[in-house]
């Protein structure tokens, strides 16, 4: 089955969980994975879906054994396990990451639709990312909106600094990449 066919089927079955009208583009995947390479160390991905970002992470040279995925959808999980041998795939919410992944991760890449989630879930996801990130690690998140996917008061309360990255026009809809780190 193709990525697109699987995506469409899962979107029709559970639109709230998929929360996108199309799979992320390869251009967005490259922007999200900018700076990753063979010496990046451990990388964690939240909400990989059909694996577009996963593919880009591995294409940048991150070894499969250094990549851990957290995905809720059972069909996506089965697909990811088949498509990416050697990558660890957990069928669990991102908030469980600190229970299974030791701290010291250099990058957390998130394809989760943070803005469509309740604030407490959104903060739980970001807290889980920073619980496993190394002191100089980055949390990378995209959004379709004009502002960061976390409100300024949450960024301040969590002690984070945010850098606005690339606006990716070659995505449906266009998306902006944000990189968060500890202030």
CA pair distance 79, 55, nearest whole angstrom? 13
Domain boundaries, the chain: 3-182
Alpha-carbon distance of 35 to 84, in angstroms, equals 21
What's the CA gap between 116 and 95, in Å, rounded?
Answer: 16
DSSP state, 12?
A: H
| pLDDT tens by residue, 38-86 | 999 999 999 998 899 999 999 999 999 999 999 998 888 999 999 999 9
Is the pTM of the predicted complex or chain greater than 0.85? yes
What is the pLDDT at residue 113? Answer: 87
> 129-146, pLDDT tens digit by residue?
999 999 999 999 999 888
pLDDT tens-place string over residues 143-161: 988 899 999 998 999 999 9
Predicted confidence at residue 3, as pLDDT, reads 66
Q: Does domain 3-182 have CATH number 3.40.640.10?
A: no
Rounded Cα–Cα distance for residues 130 and 103 (Å): 9
């Amino acid at each position: 089955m193709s990525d697109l066919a699987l995506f469409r089927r899962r979107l029709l079955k559970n639109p709230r969980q998929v929360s996108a009208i199309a799979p992320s583009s390869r251009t967005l995947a490259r922007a999200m994975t900018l700076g990753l390479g063979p010496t990046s160390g451990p990388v964690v991905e939240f909400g990989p879906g059909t694996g577009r970002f996963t593919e880009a992470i591995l294409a940048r040279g991150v070894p499969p054994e250094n990549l851990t995925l957290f995905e809720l959808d059972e069909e996506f999980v089965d697909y990811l396990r088949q498509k990416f041998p050697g990558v660890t795939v957990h069928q669990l919410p991102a908030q469980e990451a600190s229970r299974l992944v030791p701290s010291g991760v250099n990058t957390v890449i998130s394809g989760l639709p943070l803005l469509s989630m309740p604030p407490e879930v959104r903060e739980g996801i970001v807290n889980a990312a920073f619980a496993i990130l190394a002191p100089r690690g980055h949390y990378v998140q995209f959004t379709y909106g004009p502002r960061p996917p976390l409100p300024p008061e949450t960024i301040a309360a969590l002690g984070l600094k945010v850098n606005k990255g690339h606006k990716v026009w070659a995505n449906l809809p266009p998306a902006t990449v944000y990189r968060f780190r500890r202030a």
